[in-house]
Amino acid sequence: MKKILLLFICIITVSFSSCEKDDICEASTATTPKIVIEFYDFLNPTVKKNVTNLAVKEINSTTSLTYTEISKIKIPLKTNLDLTKYSFILNSTDVAIKNEDFLQFNYSRQTIFVSRACGFKTNFTLDSTLPFIKTETSIPDGYWIRNVVITTSNITTENETHVKIYF
């Protein structure tokens, strides 16, 4: 009788303590991936090349993401539109040599269920015919981005490179 009551109390305790566990979306869970871009030397295409003071800004956004002395960047894509247009400004801190190019990514979106705590995520597939559009800004300063190559068009993880930029 006492043993059963003890078991009873144990079960109740266990039931309450295990309630919260899956209510938080853990950081390690793979959710909406960013697009991974790697920079290579145009003249020596197998060699990675670091960017200097690269400012990346979505054209309607007010804030820009800045990267320097790295060859790999991860930037988000819009989850409520089938395209995201970014401005890539190289040497953004130096007015004399800075150069701005536009790069628009075209894609389709897939909504994937993750879990109760995380909800859903978006995976992207870059358009097979026109995955990106490279355009010049109003100031004709020439392209600093010489070549763009799509290496993986299915953007489902951040563990691989999706786009290679040669400059």
Partner 1 sequence: MLILTSFFVIAQTKKADSIPTKIEKYGIRFGADISKLVQSFYDKKYKGIEFVGDYRITKNYYLAGELGNENVTVDDDRLSFTTKGTFLKVGFDYNSYENWLDMKNMLYLGMRYGASTFSQTLNSYKLYNTSTYFPEAPTVISGEKYDGLTSQWIEVVLGLKTEVIKNIYIGFSIRMNRLLTNTKPENFDNLYIPGFNRTYNGDFGIGFNYSVSYFLPLYKTKSIPKSDLKKK
Q: What is the CA radius of gyration of the chain?
A: 23
91 near partner 1 (CB under 8 A): no
26 near partner 1 (CB under 8 A): no
List Cβ neighbours of 52 (8 Å cut-off, separation of 6 or more).
68, 69, 90, 91
The letter for the amino acid at 160 is E
104 near partner 1 (CB under 8 A): no
- Diameter over CA atoms, the chain: 87
Shortest distance, position 130 Cβ to partner 1, whole Å: 22
Instruction: Return the residues of window 30-89 that contact partner 1 according to CB under 8 A.
Output: 31-32, 34, 58, 61, 63, 65, 75-76, 78-80
Residue (of 104, 106, 34) closest to 73 by Cα position: 34
Structure-block tokens of residue 158: 């951040």
Which residue from 82, 112, 136, 147 is in contact with partner 1, where contact means CB under 8 A? 112
Binding site for partner 1 (CB under 8 A): 1, 4, 7-8, 11-12, 15, 18, 21-23, 25, 27, 31-32, 34, 58, 61, 63, 65, 75-76, 78-80, 111-122
